[in-house]
């Protein structure tokens, strides 16, 4: 059993049913939960400056960086020379880094998975690399993230039972090895619960990880091919089983309605590429549902994306202008659209939090 990380703590303020509102204290600042973390895979949330991400009403308190991608490019020597990812990317608020496991298992051409780790080839140049719990922690130590993730094996959502069981066993063994690695001062470590869509397996895996006393717990292996209703059923039955005094993180999910459902199930933290990727591809979120900006009906539309939105994009330009930029492949389109989608997500999470606080039982 490990001791809590200095400078890192979770304060639960209120609950409404299973839904929770809290504050995550980290060395680089506080995170109000429930929270959505914009994804900054390569040390950048695509198209956004740090100042834009931090400015109200977006006010992103934490972003996510990717261990696998940053290790391959620009490489640890470059980031080490800057004193870590915060300085390298000019982002002085909290950062969470994933372990690289998901990318190794889903993106890379895998040579060999064994109980010690994974040998894989780079998606950039085909060079061969090795990733293990110790190496994943070493990389995250160089990155200097506020929250590191334990190295895990992430199987497809509806993988056969034997594959799920093997992934759970490896993830537990690797979690213990991650905990044994010395971390930079103040860096918290979250464990990841696997088990696919079987709630009993999830609970069994949690029973192995909970005694290890991680700083937080994540639900991994969701939104990886299983039907959305199945994911909801698992979350409704299982999310509230995670330790109540630790932050709960649902990895890689999802749409606004997914976040609402998961918050109601007891989840505190989320990340997903959806708002940024959708923005670049012409899909914008509004209070009336998604719109496709390339549609002809927007050609002369003088309205903003969303009349209820307070982002700079909605306050300054029309749907017609955005459609023009999109069709002309202007870089400005991606910036304006990304700012809107991320602000929409941030405001969505803020409303969920305010709803919990307004009609909640206070802890």
pLDDT digits (tens, 9 = 90+) for 98-121: 998 888 777 656 668 899 999 888
Domain region containing 349: 274-357
154 falls within a domain: yes
Confidence of residue 155 (pLDDT cuts 50, 70, 90): confident
Catalytic residue among 77, 98, 236, 240: 98
Per-residue pLDDT tens over the stretch 75-105:
999 999 999 999 999 999 999 999 988 887 7
Residues above pLDDT 70, as percent of the chain: 97
Q: Do 267 and 130 sit in the same domain of this protein? A: yes
Q: Do 200 and 185 sit in the same domain of this protein? A: yes
Q: Do 281 and 267 sit in the same domain of this protein? A: no
Q: Which two tokens stand for residue 144?
A: 């200097």
Measured in Å, how far apart are the chain's first and last C-alpha atoms? 26
> Which residues lie closer than 8 Å to 33 by C-beta, 6 or more apart?
20, 21, 22, 23, 24, 247, 268, 269, 353
Per-residue pLDDT tens over the stretch 236-251:
999 999 999 999 999 9
88 falls within a domain: yes
Catalytic residue among 258, 268, 271, 306: 271
51 falls within a domain: yes
Asked if pLDDT for residue 171 goes beyond 60, the answer is yes
Give the separation between CA 134 and CA 180, rounded to whole angstroms: 9
4 falls within a domain: no
Q: Do 267 and 301 sit in the same domain of this protein? A: no
Q: Do 149 and 131 sit in the same domain of this protein? A: yes
5 falls within a domain: no
Confidence of residue 20 (pLDDT cuts 50, 70, 90): very high
What is the chain's alpha carbon radius of gyration, rounded to the nearest angstrom? Answer: 20
Output b/e per residue, 87-107; b: 16+ Cβ within 10 A: ebbebebbbbbbbbbbbbbee
Q: Do 199 and 326 sit in the same domain of this protein? A: no
| pLDDT value of residue 272 | 96
Task: Give the number of domains in the chain.
Answer: 2
Q: What is the CATH number of the domain that holds 135?
A: 3.20.20.105
Q: Which two tokens stand for residue 269?
A: 């933290």
98 is catalytic: yes
Confidence of residue 1 (pLDDT cuts 50, 70, 90): low
The pTM (predicted TM-score) of the whole model is 0.96
Peptide bond just before 126 cis, omega within 30 deg: no
Q: Do 32 and 87 sit in the same domain of this protein? A: yes
| pLDDT value of residue 347 | 98
Q: Do 213 and 334 sit in the same domain of this protein? A: no
Domain termination residue (choose one: 218, 238, 272): 272
Domain termination residue (choose one: 256, 272, 288): 272
Per-residue pLDDT tens over the stretch 301-349:
999 999 999 999 999 999 999 999 999 999 999 999 999 999 999 999 9
Q: Which residues pair with 26 in a beta bridge?
A: 29
Measured N-to-C along each axis, helices 228-238 and 199-209 cross at an angle, to the nearest 10 degrees, of 50
Give the separation between CA 34 and CA 351, rounded to whole angstroms: 10
């Amino acid at each position: 059993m490990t001791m809590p990380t200095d400078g890192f703590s979770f304060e639960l303020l209120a609950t409404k049913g299973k839904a929770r509102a809290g504050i995550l204290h980290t060395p680089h600042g506080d995170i109000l939960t429930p929270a959505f973390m914009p994804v900054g895979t390569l040390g950048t949330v695509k198209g956004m400056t740090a100042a834009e991400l931090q400015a109200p009403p977006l006010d992103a308190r934490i972003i996510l960086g990717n261990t696998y991608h940053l290790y391959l490019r620009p490489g640890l020597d470059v980031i080490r020379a800057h004193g870590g990812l915060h300085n390298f990317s000019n982002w002085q608020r909290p950062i969470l880094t994933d372990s690289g496991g998901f990318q190794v298992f889903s993106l890379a051409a895998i040579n060999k998975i064994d109980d010690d780790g994974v040998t894989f080839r780079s998606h950039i140049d085909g060079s061969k690399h090795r990733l293990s719990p110790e190496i994943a922690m070493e990389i995250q130590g160089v990155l200097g993230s506020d929250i590191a993730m334990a190295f895990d094996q992430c199987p497809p959502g509806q993988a056969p039972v034997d594959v799920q069981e093997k992934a759970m066993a490896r993830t537990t063994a690797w979690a213990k090895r991650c905990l044994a690695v010395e971390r930079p001062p103040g860096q918290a470590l979250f464990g990841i619960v696997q088990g696919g869509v079987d709630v009993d397996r999830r609970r069994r895996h949690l029973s192995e990880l909970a005694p290890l006393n991680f700083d937080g717990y994540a639900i991994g292996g969701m939104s990886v091919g299983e039907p959305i209703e199945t994911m909801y059923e698992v979350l409704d039955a299982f999310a509230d089983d995670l330790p109540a005094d630790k932050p709960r993180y649902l990895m890689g999910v999802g749409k606004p309605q997914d976040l609402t459902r998961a918050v109601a199930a007891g989840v505190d933290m989320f990340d997903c590429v959806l708002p940024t990727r959708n923005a670049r591809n012409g899909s914008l979120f509004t209070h009336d549902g998604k719109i496709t900006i390339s549609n002809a009906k927007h050609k002369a539309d003088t309205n903003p994306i969303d009349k209820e939105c307070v982002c700079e994009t909605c306050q300054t330009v029309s749907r017609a202008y955005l459609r023009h930029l999109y069709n002309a492949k202007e870089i400005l389109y991606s910036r304006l659209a990304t700012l809107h989608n991320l602000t929409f997500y941030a405001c969505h999470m803020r409303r969920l939090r305010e709803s919990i606080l307004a009609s909640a039982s206070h802890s």
